[in-house]
Structure 1
Amino acid sequence: MDEPQWEGDAPSYEICSCCFFQAGFDDDGASEPVTVEEYRKSWLRYKGTWANFLTRRPENWDLREQLKNIDVDLDKEDKPVIRSIGHITFSVADMERAVIFYIHVFGVQPLLVRPNIAYFESAGIWWTLNLQENMVKEESKQSYTHIAFSVKEEDIETLQARLLKAGATIEESHQHNPNGENKSIYFRDPDGHLLEFHTGTLEQQLDYYRR
C-alpha cells in the first residue's frame, strides 16, 4: 500500500489490491465492521487469492513472505491451548451434606475436606466443592447447563439405585432418546446442580443430530 491504513483517527480509505481490505470502511463504516486481523483470517480461508483483477500481481510477490513481514506464518500450525478440563467446581450451601452425597453417588472418598472446601477425583476428573452459604438454589434450576459423566450401559441401573439412595432428584423431563442418543440419567445434587450419567459417545451424538 502507498500509505499507512490509519494515521491517528484518519483512515486512508485505500483499498488493498491483495485482499481488498479498505481502511475506514471494512473496519469502521461497514454494516458489520471487522478488524484487519479478522478480515485477513477470512481471506486466508479462501486461499489468499489476489483480489484485484484490475491490477497485475507483482512478479516476485509471495504470499508467505509478505505475511512473515507482519509476523504471520502460514506454515506454523495453530495448536490448541487447552489440553483438557482442569477441574470442576460446585458451589454448595452445606459442605457436610454435599460431601456425603458425592461419596454415595460416585463411590469415592474425598482427597481433602475442610470447612469451606472439599476435593474429589475420579476417572482423571478433579472436582471441588466450595462452600457458598448464601447460594440461591432456585437460580440453577432455570438452566439446562450441566456436566455429564461417561458410564457403561450395564451400570445404569446400579447408578440409578445409588442416586435414589443418596436422595438425588431425578430429572425425567431431560432424559435422552435411548434409540438415538443412548441411555442417560439426569439428576440434581442437593444444591440444585444438574448432572448426568451418559452412555453415549460424541460420534453417536453427532450422528443422531445429523439425521
Structure 2
Amino acid sequence: MSKAGLGQIGQVALHVSDIERSTNFYGDTLGMTKIFDAPNIAFFDNGGIRLMLSAGEGEPSGESSVIYYKVADIDESYSDLSESGVEFQDSPHVIHASDDYELKMAFFKDPDGNQLAIMSETGELS
C-alpha cells in the first residue's frame, strides 16, 4: 500500500471512437470477459481489474496511455494473439535484464491507436 493509502488499480478507462468495434476487439480478439455494457460504454474483467471502454462525444481516443498485460509465457501469448489478428509492432524482446531477472515486452495497438503491451518477468528483481 502506498503512503497515500492507495491499493491496487480497480479500473482503467479508455476512450474509444467506436464502442462496437472496440468491444469486439477486447472481447473477441483479446478474449476478455465482458462484465456489462450500456449505451456507449462497456466494462471488461481483466484479472480483477475493470477495463472501461467509453465512446462519449468529444472524448479523445488513442495513444494517451499504455496498458501492460502480464502473461505467463510471452512467446505463447504473442503467437496466440497474432493468430487472433493482433498486429504487433515488434516481437517479444528484452527490455531489461540483470543476473537474476529478465523483463520482456511486445507492443500492439487497439483499433483506436491505444498503446497496449504484453509483458513477462522471470527471476527476481533486486
Q: What is the TM-score with the length of structure 2 in the denominator?
A: 0.75
- Partners of 2:83 and 2:48 in 1: how far apart? 25
- Partners of 1:106 and 1:87 in 2: how far apart? 18
2:105 equivalent in structure 1: 184
Gaps of 5+ in 2: none
Bigger Rg over Cα? 1
1:160 equivalent in structure 2: 78
Superposed counterparts of 1:1-211, under 5 Å? 79-132=3-56, 134=58, 140=63, 145-153=65-73, 156-172=74-90, 176-177=93-94, 180=97, 181-200=102-121, 204=125, 207=126
- Give the number of the structure with larger relative contact order, counting CA–CA contacts within 8 Å between residues 6 or more apart: 2
What number of residue pairs does the alignment pair up? 121
**Cα pair 1:105 1:159 within 8 Å, conserved:** no
More helix per residue:
1
- Partners of 1:160 and 1:134 in 2: how far apart? 34
More strand per residue:
2
- The C-alpha deviation readout for 1:23-59, integer Å capped at 9, x for no partner, is xxxxxxxxxxxxxxxxxxxxxxxxxxxxxxxxxxxxx
Q: Which runs of 4+ in 1 moved over 4 A?
A: 133-137
- Partners of 2:30 and 2:36 in 1: how far apart? 16
Q: What is the TM-score with the length of structure 1 in the denominator?
A: 0.48
Gaps of 5+ in 1: 1-77
- Partners of 2:111 and 2:30 in 1: how far apart? 14
